[in-house]
Structure 1
């Protein structure tokens, strides 16, 4: 299927023109350093957070229910709350770890480097929270069937982000029961999104010639004897 969609050829043509100076690890460290600076500045001034989308930290800490249902997992409130909670928790852990290294005599720069793992987790939390908020804004400004599909995509993005990030379990943000519920809901979302898949791809302007035959008549594409099935 990758060959039919010419993914290899397109990737090969793109990669040779790319540089690796903007390595993701370096970019993540830059993000976490900016968040660290914003946190320290707010604490020193004893002022509320006003930048980098950290305003959510001015309010009370979100509380996640013990037993999440499919309805609550797909709700904007839960998704925003759990992303806010992760970012808040990781930022405080990151600040504490950097401060601890500095108290041991490390320079600020070395302390940040030694805290790289938490820094990357924090930057990921910040990035995914920002993306989620952007999706929510687009969804809230739409209507009708478009809003419904955007809601499904929002839930898919949020729940897969949770499923793929161990920090939700590692730091006790979600219980094992709720984490298992997330994984089950992702499978249900796949089924709910399946009828809209071709329309979503088409909305990006991807030509039909770039799509595999399975994108259209998947029964025929997988039938015995079909030239595209590999069963001939």
Structure 2
């Protein structure tokens, strides 16, 4: 919890330092926010049902993390949301496989935790990491000596914290990626091909029967009508 609060503070300071405004947080709210209530309801069912069946609590806790991870994945248009989704999914997976979040007692001791999980284990919530722990490296094995509340965190917690800081800082400045749904809905404009000129057909030769007959040639010694019309005739002289 302390790591997430530190990430929120870092994202807020980074966003405001880059000229961000708090009013920009409400310009485009996340989608499917009801999934948060679904995740909280699953965790509440696990807490209430653990009085009857103890393994129900870790199972519903894993379902809560998976639901929140799915919610973050749906909002992956925000910078850092993908990291949040992967971190929550990793935490849910290791809880589901081990019946609780495996915590390293040595990591807590190095972080400065006063009461480690080995001294006071929380049944149904966390388990002590050992040699038989599945995917032990995904458990709380990283010491964080944060002064108000030192603790051991998991790689998933680090991914969630980094994603939350990035999402908050970029949301304050208005820098967001294009939503995937809108990107798919964009109509594709077909490319216009250049207009092709119609092919010119070769000139066809006239058929022999269509060729007009040549004009008649003038006969020697006989004047044609054109010659008679153009040449003036001399008057005849009578005796």
TM-score, normalization by structure 1: 0.26
Where is the strand percentage greater, Structure 1 or Structure 2? 2
Where is the helix percentage greater, Structure 1 or Structure 2? 1
Please tell me whether Structure 1 or Structure 2 has the larger radius of gyration of its CA atoms: 2
Q: Which has the higher contact order (CA 8 A, sep 6+)?
A: 2
